[in-house]
Structure 1
Amino acid sequence: MRLLSCHIENFGKLQNRTFTFEEGLNNILEENGWGKSTLTAFIRVMFYGFEGERKQGLSNERKRYAPWQGGSFGGSVRFEKDGKAYKVSRVFGNKEEGDEVSLIDEATGLETSDYDVANLGEELFGIDSDSFMRTAFISQNDCVYNETTENIDRKLGRLVEQTDDNAGYDSIVTRLKKAISAANSRVQKDSLHNLKRRATELEEEIKHKAVIDGSINEVRRLSGTTKEEMADLEEKREGLLARRSICIAADEKRIRRARLLELKEAVLMRQNNLLKAEAKFSGRIPERSEVDETMQDARNLAVTRGTLEAYSLTYEEEDELQRLYDTYGEYSHFEFERLLFVRDPKPYSKMGVFGIYLAVFGVIALTAGVGFFVNKTQLFGALAGVLGLLCIVAGLIIVAVKKRREKIYLEDTARIRADYETFKVLETKKKKFDEADAKAARLNVNIESFFESIGMKCPEDVSDALVHIKELLGALAVCKEELSYAKGELNTYLEKYPDDEENTLEPGCETVAELDDKIKAVELDISETHKRLLDYSRRLETLKGQRDELEEKEDELSEIKDRVEKLSERVRLYNLTKDYLTKAKNSYTERYLGPIRNGFKKYYSRLTETEGEEYNLDANTHLFVEASGLNRDTGSLSFGYQNLVGLCMRLALFEAMYGHDGPFIVMDDPFVHMDEEKIKKGRELLKLIAGDVQVIYLTCHESRAM
């Protein structure tokens, strides 16, 4: 597989850029800040999509590479696979749900299903995005070797057995160890240790079952005796309640008689209250609606008086209105409109035009006179000049007189208009005042008529008097209602008890209070007996529950013993399986570790001209460096050597995974931390690799360019 070209519509700082890629080595030399890392990220994203969708800040690639200048977010990549050319295009939205992606077969120009666009990178390269970044994608800030991923292991053939879920050896052994550890754990509830401990506890608890059976029989006996006592007490209470009912019947007759007297006294008292309330009115008792209407008239009168004050004319306003009447007549309104209508807005316009024409004629005559005078017709020229001067002077005088007369005329018109506006305001106030005065007179007549009808003289403060009358009417209505209610209660009682007479207690009859004391004492005994019964019931339920729990524990003990037996056998099988897998794995790992070791040493020797014998790989493809007889992590090396070793290891993995038929390799300035000699060796190494695989190499300095 190889890349053919890519077009970036908008991605990070790159906009509307197209790049064409050749077979072998493709060198891109651009200065720092140009966007080399953005270009490499674009190539990866076209195949795998964005990483870190749920993260914040720069870790979220969608936000990190959003276009700086706005516009459509995305682009396309053309590539060749198995002799066919394809183009993958992506347009990114604000979220993954808004993305648009398509894969076009360039031979037909139609979308193709040769590869699943949702997992395009994994289908083309056989590895996920993380594994791609650890092998075929090498940047200056990420050369350090970080061990393999499960996808890389699968690609290398590092599987202990081919299972449906593609579980690798490490995953299986880890699960076996966890299962064995869990089975022997002191923390896990269902471990062998805890199951055996629980079985011992259950055996001790089950020994108390016989003691609980004896306690159950004793509680049942005591409960039976207490139930007999409860029956005797309830029979005694029933007898006392029957005697109490007889006493209550006699007491009820006395209480009803007292109630009858109380109701009669209430009727008499309510009748007296009604007479007192009626006596407070000196004449006719008005209806509430009459009072409400009169109160409304009083409120309207107050509002009308306010209107009178608002529209009352001052002495100056009365004098001004009279002057206008005297000046313009009785029908002043119509006289104003007539005067304003008949007045000419430009009364002296003809006079002004005549003056202008006369002055113009004078100018012409004066000009002609000067001409004649110059041509030696002096007398005629002098007469024409004098005539011209006289016409000019006369024309100017006529224009001046026109302007003076017009000014006087306009001032007179303005005065008439001002008088008209004043007249309208004053006449409106006078009309509203007269209307309010008439209304106030009508309201006064209504109010005085009301007070005369109820035998009262109209007071000065009408509102207070009306409020007082309304309060008296309210009190009178309450008295009537109370009397009606009292009579109703008395009639109801007499209908219910028509022949009620006073009765006395029979001689020797106990009082209700004495019987209540005896009943209370019996009920106290019943309550105590009931508490004992409840206590026996609870104790019996508790004992039965304990017995049921012991029976359940017997079942639990039997189940635990069975589980212990099965779990012990399972642990034995786990240990045997782990031992067999370990032996198989140790012999199997040599099949893929050899090519990786050889590849690492090949690339390391080309960069350093040493064999790299001090570096070793374990079965987990972890790289160590031997120093002072000990295997040490490569993280103990200098940063430059960490990058060099990481580059060799990535190239070795790539070669072991794909051989000479792998995809392209993207290198973003991987030699930036190396010295000049190693950079020179690195360039030679790139040329060698580019003979088999397409390489996209980006750098920002001439010294590292190809």
Structure 2
Amino acid sequence: MRIEKICMESFMGKKDFTLTLAPGVNILEGDNESGKTTVADFIRFMLYGASSKGIGGALSERQRFLGFGETAFGGYMELSARGTRYRIDRKITAAANGFRESLQISDLATKSQVLKGENAGDALLGVPETVFSRTAYITQADGAYSGGEELSAAIENLLFSADETVSTEKALKKLDALRVSLLHKNGKGGQLSDLAAEREALSARLEKALSDNSEIIAKEGSLADTLKRIEDNRTEYSRTKKLCELYDSYIAHTRFEKLDAVDAHLAELDRAEAALLARFDGFAPDGEYLGRLRQAAENAAAEEMRVAGAERALKVAADARAAAEETPETGEDRDLADAARRAGGAAKAARTLNIIGIILLLLGAAAAGVVYLLRLDAPLYAAAGGAAAAGVLLLILAGVRRAKAGTLLRSFGVSSAGELDERLRAAEESRTAAEEARAHTREREASARALLESAKETLAEKKRALADILSRLGGGETDAVAGLAEAYIRDAEKLRTERQAAEEEKKHLTAETRAYDRETVAATLAPVGDLSVFEKVDITEYRRRRDFCENALAALESKKSDLEKALAALHATVEKPALLRAALDALDRQYAAAKAKYDAAELAIRAIGNASEGLRTRVSPRLADYAGKLLSAVTGGSIGELGVDSTLALTYMAEGGAHSVEYMSKGTKEAAYFALRLALVDLLYKEEKPPLVFDESFAYADDRRTERMLRLLCALAGEGVQSVVLACHSREGDIAAKFGCTRLHLD
């Protein structure tokens, strides 16, 4: 594997940092706190991610990698491995409930996403993060090389099973635990012992169940028969129900057709009503109109009769007036009136003459007395005598007049003027009555004439009202117009009756088809083709059979339920042989499987023990031999023989014996573990060698040993192994420059 480029968008406080690495050995120089360890951690983060767990209260890697005040960290790295160039984009974002990680590995040639859900280190290098960190990722603090036992176990697992999580030691423990769980070492306990006891008890139960199961067998037979009948009835029910539904769809179809016919009939009625309404220019005579027409005609006829009656009354009144005016006065009445005038005149003249005579007589007597007493002249006596004589004469004339009036009264059979006046008043009253009768007849005639005029005016008004009503239908004779109105009303009533019947039929048809969809009905009937077949269907028989099957199903389901309940009750007390036999067969299979598992565990324990021991025997010498050669090259041959135990602890040979590396100087011990790591890389990374990261790993080595270790790295570069050496001094860079290594600086 070769890292081509790294880009930190934000990582441990370093932002927008890009670094391009060359093949072979890269010396990356920088002061303390310049970010050298940050580069090393970023490479490991890109390959394996960051742990979310802290150890011993320390911050987790995710917490350490998150810069102060930042909410996310990550970036990308471009590399080549196994003949393909890849780009790894990894980012972890802090959230309220923890961290959220996004990872995408792309093939740079095809731009497609690959290795979904895998870490690049696991997929491309074939080792877990634990192995990578303790072999190819080397820091100054790793000189003591802690965790050797854990790495040793992982190495064994990788070499044995290609999976570092599969521990042979744990496998042996699990296999032994499995063997004991199957059968205790004393043979009295464990799954096999329990299964044997259970099988014996189950066999006894099966024998008892076989003797007690006759009723269950009978009921199960009845239940099977009932289930068969249920199935048969269900099939027949489905068939007849389908036929009934098809017939119902056919009926719905015919009703839809009737509904269409009714709609067409209603449309015809609309046109007929429109034509009828146009008959009288939009006027529609009805019963009210006909009633008003007849009432107006009756009113006009009544007024004509009233006019005729008024004319007859006028003629009667006129005849009565003429008769009254032609009645003559009687002669007696005229004579009586004339006598009354003459008698009255004579009596009046007699009274006048009598009064004047008396006055003159009195004046003459008075004058004579005065003349006598006064002794006046004789002429005065003559004058007084003449006045008295004139008075006597007038009195005589008054008597004549009274005699004449008496003669006249007696001629009329009355003795006095009073009686004559009575006769005269009676005659006057008779005359007045006749006059009043004539006046009354005139008034009757005038009243009859006015009544006639009023009747004529009312008749004219009634005739105008009748003519107005007649004009609504074009005018004409009342009977003819009434006939037209009656014909219109009959036609309208007929149309109205037909419409009501059609609308009522439409209402019923709509209600009957409401539950159906026209298109669904058509689709349902489409496979039938010729619908006339339904005319020959005895739907009553099909419905009877459908209902029979439905009722039979209900009865059979009830019987089935009763049988199932009875069987359930029996099964609660009587065990079923078939189930017991099946359980016994299953128990036999389980016992056989457990026995096979026990035998396999026995065999596996022996095989793994032998294989693990052989593996350790073969691997440790290889590691010791290769690491010794590398250490000899680094130390210039002063130490060339190493020993490696099962925990990867080192020993070296000196003064004829083996000694722990703890007796070495720091620089030599660092060189020993440097050699061990390179040996482990050679042993464990078969398909793809990892990039080697050294973070201040040569701090305790002198210049000569540093040069030798860098020379070894250059030799490995010739085999395709890339190295990144991080140093705070220029020494490593100056030495590496002799070998043409790439030298980079961190600002």
User: Structure 1 length as normaliser, TM-score?
Assistant: 0.41
User: Structure 2 length as normaliser, TM-score?
Assistant: 0.39
Q: Which has the larger radius of gyration?
A: 2
